[in-house]
Amino acid sequence: MQNFCTKLYIAKEALAIHKAIIEKVEREKEIKGKDYKVLIKGLCYTLSVVITGIEDEGFDYLEELIKKDNPIIKKILRENLKRNRLKRLDETKVLELQKYF
């Protein structure tokens, strides 16, 4: 199976976009709107897709997110760590990160 982000520059850009969005999500106070919930649902899936194209930097970012004390960020991280695509990349790292939940 070929990774979604096969070109490194695309994966780097996609990760940068995810970082910017997640940073804004972390600062958001109003979290009850429909649009916000759809965004979170998407982030619970797409971050792991991006990481398949930039494994080392992606797992480093997941380790950064572990340190965040925000329930929404924790949810995004927890859901992405359930994805088999990450387990196929490095099951040991995934299991190590899942210990935080």
Quick one: the chain helix, strand, coil %, rounded to 5? 75, 0, 25
Q: Is the pTM of this model over 0.85?
A: yes
State pLDDT tens for residues 5-27: 557 888 899 999 999 999 999 98
> What pLDDT was estimated at residue 5?
52
> What pLDDT was estimated at residue 9?
87
State pLDDT tens for residues 42-74: 999 999 999 998 999 999 999 999 999 999 999
